[in-house]
Amino acid sequence: MKLYSDRCAGCEACVNACPYNAVTMQGGLPVFSDACNLCGACVEACPSEAIERPGNGGPAVEASPHRGIWIFGETKDGQPTRVVLELLAVGRRLAEKTGQDLGVVLAGDRLGTMPQNLIAFGADRVFLVEHPDLAVFRDEPYTAVLAAAIKQYRPSILLFGATTTGRSLAPRLAARLRTGLTADCTALDIDPESGNLLQTRPAFGGNIMATIMCPVNRPQMATMRPGVQKPATRDGGRTGEVIRLETGPSLLLARTEVLGFINRNEEMVNLEEASVIVSGGRGLGCAENFSLVRELAALLGGVVGASRAAVEEGWLPYAHQVGQTGKTVSPRLYIACGISGAVQHLAGMQGSDIIVAINRNPDAPIFKVASYGMVGDVVQILKSLIEQL
């Protein structure tokens, strides 16, 4: 903490305010120990405005030249991932609310028309770094390249998908930039008073939704769960700017080398990008009955999901779990078979366009969110649906 000793009245309000006992008085002035984590409680408690966080400042934020909303353009198999398109939809709304530009920072090799494609999906500017060493994601060069771009262009907001890549890159970058990061957000908005990013995510095991702000440091960084927002739609008529960024050997240093990719042997499932999901719960009664769920999913061109109860029974691997501690999905069609509709399950699927629920209990909570309900024995209903299809 920075102390303006000429303003300090020696009142000890900071000592009393500190939740970490990190402030003691010496010679009539406060001294901050290593236990201080810059929480700012003393700044707020000080009646004479004699304390400031180092290298920041409340007022400094307003005067800050940070401007622009950036999205990390994660790619897979030469395409932006679906969460990038979801972030473009969110980012567009934030950009319009704040009057800022929406940018995508895109790193890779031979990315072809991807920058123009991202502009068509809503970006105003694409910051492009191309180099063979960036062809495959690795934390170190990606962090260095992005940190350099951010220091040069100083965006105010920086968003990532909460994917394996985003969850690896964003915290490393936040530490490098000495700013905060809210992980796994389900909603993002702008505070009308301060203009700060409102970052909402479940907290305390999903029992409350917490809205977090990063009022002091910049950029404001968040990862957003895939599947909680609708993706942006393409408008081939949009125009924008592609800015090529230079890179150099010092930014591309890495201690790791990617030798290749090996697909895990277990069943692969991409729930977040599926447009049809047939999910099974404990009401199916046994693992064998999941073959009906699989069959219906195959007939509809969809994939198989599961409630946590079904996963805990060992009927399907965790990769299939939908819900608060599983995947968040938003398919066009979600069929819940023998799933009660606990709030933690709903948290992962209520963004689906059409929900069909099959349950023998007409009062099961799943029917409250269902577009169509079928009351009866799930095994019989599945067999009959399969037969008809």
Shortest distance in whole angstroms from residue 231 CB to ligand FAD: 23
What is the three-class DSSP state of 235? coil
Q: How far apart, in whole angstroms, are the C-alpha atoms of residue 77 and residue 133?
A: 16
Site for ligand FAD contains 325 (CB under 6 A) = yes
Q: Which is nearer to ligand FAD, 82 or 308 (CB)?
A: 308
Q: How far apart, in whole angstroms, are the C-alpha atoms of residue 281 and residue 337?
A: 6
Among 184, 360, 373, 383, binds ligand FAD (CB under 6 A): 360
Contact 199, 188 (CB under 8 A): yes
Place of tokens 């009393």: 16
Q: How far apart, in whole angstroms, are the C-alpha atoms of residue 19 and residue 180?
A: 20
Instruction: Give the pair of three-digit tokens for residue 84.
Output: 């990038």
Q: Which is nearer to ligand FAD, 126 or 309 (CB)?
A: 309
Among 359, 367, 370, 385, binds ligand FAD (CB under 6 A): 359
Shortest distance in whole angstroms from residue 252 CB to ligand FAD: 39
Shortest distance in whole angstroms from residue 380 CB to ligand FAD: 8
Q: Are strands 197-203 and 187-190 parallel, antiparallel or unpaired?
A: antiparallel
Site for ligand FAD contains 304 (CB under 6 A) = no
Write the CB contacts of 214 (distance below 8 Å, at least 6 apart in sequence).
Answer: 179, 180, 182, 196, 197, 199, 220, 221
Among 186, 199, 223, 324, binds ligand FAD (CB under 6 A): 324
Q: Which residues pair with 202 in a beta bridge?
A: 209
Shortest distance in whole angstroms from residue 89 CB to ligand FAD: 24
Cα end-to-end span (Å), the chain: 68
Query: HSE-up of 87 (CA within 13 Å, CB side)?
Result: 33
What is the three-class DSSP state of 360? coil
Site for ligand FAD contains 344 (CB under 6 A) = yes
Site for ligand FAD contains 22 (CB under 6 A) = no
Report the site for ligand FAD in 245-284 (rule: CB under 6 A).
281-283
Site for ligand FAD contains 338 (CB under 6 A) = yes
Site for ligand FAD contains 73 (CB under 6 A) = no
CA angle 147–152–158, rounded 5-degree value: 55
Among 161, 326, 331, 351, binds ligand FAD (CB under 6 A): 326
Q: Which is nearer to ligand FAD, 222 or 284 (CB)?
A: 284
Q: Which is nearer to ligand FAD, 254 or 375 (CB)?
A: 375
State the sign of the Cα–Cα–Cα–Cα dihedral 224, 229, 231, 232: negative
R_g (Cα) of the chain, nearest Å: 25
Q: Which is nearer to ligand FAD, 4 or 372 (CB)?
A: 372
Among 342, 350, 369, 383, binds ligand FAD (CB under 6 A): 342
Shortest distance in whole angstroms from residue 381 CB to ligand FAD: 8
- Alpha carbon separation from 180 to 23, 94, 184, 216, 343 (Å, rounded): 23, 19, 13, 9, 30
The site string for ligand FAD over 181-220 (x = CB under 6 A, - otherwise) reads ------------------------xx--------------
- Choose one: 126-134, 248-256, 293-301, 323-331; the region binding ligand FAD (CB under 6 A): 323-331
Q: Which is nearer to ligand FAD, 179 or 344 (CB)?
A: 344
What is the three-class DSSP state of 66? coil
Residues at the site binding ligand FAD, with contacts judged by CB under 6 A? 205-206, 281-283, 307-310, 321-326, 338-340, 342, 344-345, 348, 359-361, 364, 377-378
